Structures are given as C-alpha cells and as structure tokens.
Structure 1
Amino acid sequence: MPMSYRITVVIPCYNDGAYIEDAINSILGQTLNDYQIIIVDDGSDKSTKDILKRLDHEKIKVYYEANKGVSSARNFGIALSESEYILTLDADDYFEPTFLEKALDILETHSDVAVVGCYHYLVSDRKIKHVVRPKGGTITNFLTKNEGLGNALFRRSCWEQVGGYDAHMTTGYEDWEFWIAILAKGWRMEIIKEPLFYYRIKENSRNMKATNFHDLELKSYIFNKHFNIYSAHFKRVTLRLLKNNDRLYKRNIVLTQSIEYRLGRFLLTPFKKIKKLISIK
C-alpha cells in the first residue's frame, strides 16, 4: 500500500457485516482522493469475516485481531498508518462525500486545530430522525459533556502526543476521553456546521449500553484520570453542573404538573391499592 497518502481512514469492525460496505462506499465516494482505508476486524463472526475477505480495492487493507474492543482496534489501525492525518469511522456509520475535503482544508489552514468534526444526522432504518449540533471548541467545553463525535479527522501527531485511545475503556466514552486528553494540551476542535455524517441508531448498540448501564462508571473513570484538569477548572465545572441540575429540576416540575402525568397517576391508583391489599395478605 502506498505511503504517500495524507489521510488514513481507520474502520474498526465488530460483527458489522450488514453495514460495512455503506461505510466503505462513503469514503470511496469522497471528493478528496488522497487517502487509504485500514479496516481492523475486531474478532467478528464468520459472516462479517466473509464479507471483509471479499473486499478488493487498491485503497483498502484489512487486518484481523482478537476481540479487544474499539480503542485497541483504532490504535492498531493507526499504528499501521504512515499518514499525517487520521479519520476514524465506525463500521455502521457513513459520511457525506465532501467531508474529507472540507475537514482537511481546516486542519491545513488552522494550526491550533487538532480535530475536525461536523453536525450529524441520527438515522434509523435510513430515515433521518434528528440533527445533532456539537459545539467542539476547547477543553472547557468537554469537561461535563462530549461536544464532539468519535468519527472525526485529526492529526496523527496528537494521537501520539496522548498515547492513543485508552484501551481500558471497553464499554464506551473512549472518544470523549480521547478528545479531553488532546484538548488538554491546548488544542481546539473545529466543527463544520453542516450535517455531513450519518450516525446509525441501533437497539442495544454499544453507545446505548454505555449511556444506560455504564454512565456513572465511565464518567467517574474520566474524572479520576483527568483529575488535574477538572481541578484546574473547578469553578467552571461546578457552575455548569449546578445549571444542569437546575434545568433538570425545572423540567421535572413541568413534567409532574402536566395533565398526562396526573392522568397517569390517577389511572394507576386502583392498581396500587390492589397491590397493597395483596401484599398485606
């Protein structure tokens, strides 16, 4: 594989045979042609491996390793690259054709930018449900919320600077931690204010499991790992958390005073009484 490409697109793949070709085609259809694609199979099932073995394109190279998680797969793929810039792409998502061209132009004209992302669509069954508009910015924007997305173009030197993705983070939020590590070095993330990416919503996806079952655990890990950063921004972080708490409190008041909520409580009252009588017996 030629070493002259400026961008390496790293695609970790775990049992995503049904979607991987959409991801690949979204790269092969880019208006910018200066890239190579490295796919890292992260211990997928046979059906996915069969699809990967059929891939035949001069820009694509497939590597196989045992299942170690997305962070390890990304690190593995990036380590194999020689390019100046890296684009990470999950195997079940895909980009608009102009993303690479627009993102590379920003990195080459703004020396303080480490990462370029974009607005993105949430997609279910190929139907657009919502547009997400992350803010990007500096480290202060990322301490209480991930204002980026895991699929973005960044400088390979930044990956080296922070020691890569944290391979211990196997249940999610590894991209958030990675951005914090990079931006803490004084870099900035730029967001293209166009929806140039499609994020596929899937039941029981890794990100959904992270939010539903591991949220506190993962946030605590990030906080403890970067405690010095949070300490340096203690006042800003605390005020932001207080504002978030106030917003949730007011939202809860609106909810509990709504007609739907009170009607629901009224309809459930007889069942609660029956349950109480049964428990007494």
Structure 2
Amino acid sequence: MVSKPKVSIIIPTFNRSNFLQSTLESISKQTFKDFEVIVVDDGSPSNEAELVCREFNFCHYEKIENSGGPATPRNKGINLARGKYLAFVDDDDLWYPEKLELQVDILEKEPDFGLVHSYCDCIDEKGNLTGAITGRPGSPEVKHGDCFIKMIGNWTVMMPTPLIRTELVKKIKGFNPFISKATEDVEFFTRLSLHTKFWFIDKALVQYRVHGGNISGNNENYKNLPISLSRVAEDAYLDNRITLDDLFLIQRRLYFKFSNYDGKHLLPNVREARLKILKRSYSFWDRIRFIFFGLRLNLKIALQAR
C-alpha cells in the first residue's frame, strides 16, 4: 500500500511552461522531501506543461477545461490532495529550500495554529532579485495569531507562502470560483482566519515574480472585493463569530480602503452592500444603529469628495 505524503503542493497553471519548469525545480530542492505536487492545467492550448511535469517524479498532472482563473484549478487540486497539509504556489513563483521544513515543524508543534506563512522577496521576469519585498508588515504581530479583525480589508496572506492543515481547507470548501479572479485568494484566507490562528514567520521563504502577466496587477479586478469581504463579515456576525461593533468597524474600513481603487464603482457597491445587510436577520435596534452608521459614512464620503 502506497503511503500518503505529508504535504500536497497545488500549482494551477496556464500556458507558462517556462516559468512552471523553474517553479518545479525550486520545489525539487526542498530539504523536506515528503510531498506530492499536483499541477492543474487550466486548459492550456498546448501540452507543454504536461511535458515539463513528466521530468519530475513527484509531480501529478491534471488538465481541465479553461475556467478563466485559478480558483477552479486550485479546488481540483484540493480534491486530489492526499497530504495532511496543503501548500499553494503559482506557476511563476519560487521557493527557498527550507520553506517546507520550517513550516511543517511549526504545524506539528503548534496544534492551535492551522496556517503558517511568511513574506516574499521579489524577483523580475528573468528571476533576478529586485531588492524589494512584499507581504511583510511593519509589525510581525499584525499577521500572527487571531487575524480576522486585523486582516479583513487590510492585507492578505501571500499566496505562495502558506502551509495549511488540509482539514481546514476542506471545512471552508476551498476557493470561491464565483467572485472576480485575483480576489479569490483574499476572500479564501479571510474565511479561513475565522476558523484558525495564523503563524507568521518573519522571514522570506518565497521568491515572488513580478511581471506584466500578474493577475493581481490589474486594479479593475478589485472593484467588487468590498462586496465579497463584506459578505464574509456579515456571515461571521450572523454566526456569532464577531460582534456588531466589529462588523461596523470592518464595513467602515472596507468602504474607505477600496475607494482608492475605483471611485465610480465603489459608491454603487457600498449602497448595494448596505441594502443587503439591512435585509439580513438583524434586530430592530441593530438596523437603526446601522442606518445611523451609514448616514455618518455617507457624510464622510461626501466631504472627502469635495
């Protein structure tokens, strides 16, 4: 009987076999060896990714019909995964050799933590370090511990850095394929933070490639993110996971934070979110409080726009 690997690594890919080769080479150099890699090809027009995967005996290749974003291939990988822990990496990022060893050790020793993550060094399209970093806060404690209130609307986990307990990923049913691409990871990690504590390693464990093909480089994708995160917060309140004051704080943060992306889209989205919130199962006085909160917020938005 074939034993199950400790870690399952999921890589969605689309038409970037040259980058994928480098990603798999970096994984092959991990000091921790008990892993499998599941590459899910989101309908690339050629078989180049499959040929690359054949070079690595730890790699399992699956091809699906094109879904237009990484959520569906990631979910496919989750369904195929056999490991106790899950890791995600995009097909253009690289791992430092000690990444998995450090993270597995923490999750094995810290049962109250379901996710361990870090920040990234940035590399350019050719793989050269740029000297920039991404995902490191001013204070590491911001990304450590109970993170839901701290993170929603402020930051997210850098996609290629976390190691997560598989049972938690399946508990929240993976990624939401029905929201805008490039926002599904933010929404996923926000939902996950309601169910577990995060451990932050204040060290770069990943090289994050910055180039013209990055989905996250397009701010247009983010215009609906306030609605998605607002829904997560509303559900958390209705499940008694956060207080109404917490919900107000989060709504205020989301409305002002994302006004920087696209003001023309923000206000209709704010109104839509507020109307949907008022239709939820709040008490009479909760509704009154939220209406007054909305009036104050409208006034602040109007004053800022002058």
Q: Post-superposition shift, 1:58?
A: 2.3
Structure 1: gaps spanning 5 or more residues? 246-281
Given the two structures, how large is their TM-score scaled by the length of structure 1? 0.78
Which of 193, 202, 216 lines up with 2:211 in the alignment?
202
What fraction of aligned residue pairs are identical, expressed as a percent? 22
Q: Which is worse superposed, 141-150 or 102-111? A: 141-150
Equivalent in the alignment of 2:175: 165
Given the two structures, how large is their TM-score scaled by the length of structure 2? 0.72
Q: Is the 8 A contact 2:41 2:64 kept in 1?
A: yes
Q: Aligned letter for 2:233?
A: H
Deviations 1:40-62 (Å, cap 9, x if unpaired)?
0111131xx22422423321111
- Cα distance, 1:26–1:241 mapped onto 2, change above 3 Å: same
Larger Rg: 1
Q: Post-superposition shift, 1:97?
A: 0.3
Q: Aligned letter for 1:153?
A: L
Q: 1:51-200 counterparts in 2 under 5 A?
A: 51-54=49-52, 55-68=54-67, 69-124=69-124, 125=126, 126-132=128-134, 133-134=136-137, 135-137=142-144, 138-151=147-160, 152-185=162-195, 187-200=196-209
1-side partners of 2:233 and 2:73: how far apart? 23
Q: Is the 8 A contact 2:20 2:91 kept in 1?
A: yes
Q: Post-superposition shift, 1:239?
A: 7.0
Q: Post-superposition shift, 1:170?
A: 4.4
- SS of 2:86's partner is strand
Q: Post-superposition shift, 1:222?
A: 2.3
Q: Aligned letter for 1:228?
A: D
1-side partners of 2:150 and 2:91: how far apart? 27
- Cα distance, 1:118–1:45 mapped onto 2, change above 3 Å: same
Q: Is the 8 A contact 1:141 1:147 kept in 2?
A: no
Equivalent in the alignment of 1:224: 231
Equivalent in the alignment of 1:50: 48
Root mean square deviation of aligned Cα: 2.3
- SS of 1:97's partner is coil
Q: Aligned letter for 2:57?
A: E
Q: Is the 8 A contact 1:3 1:83 kept in 2?
A: no
- Cα distance, 1:53–1:213 mapped onto 2, change above 3 Å: same
- SS of 2:188's partner is helix
2-side partners of 1:170 and 1:121: how far apart? 26
Q: Is the 8 A contact 1:38 1:62 kept in 2?
A: yes
1-side partners of 2:12 and 2:213: how far apart? 18
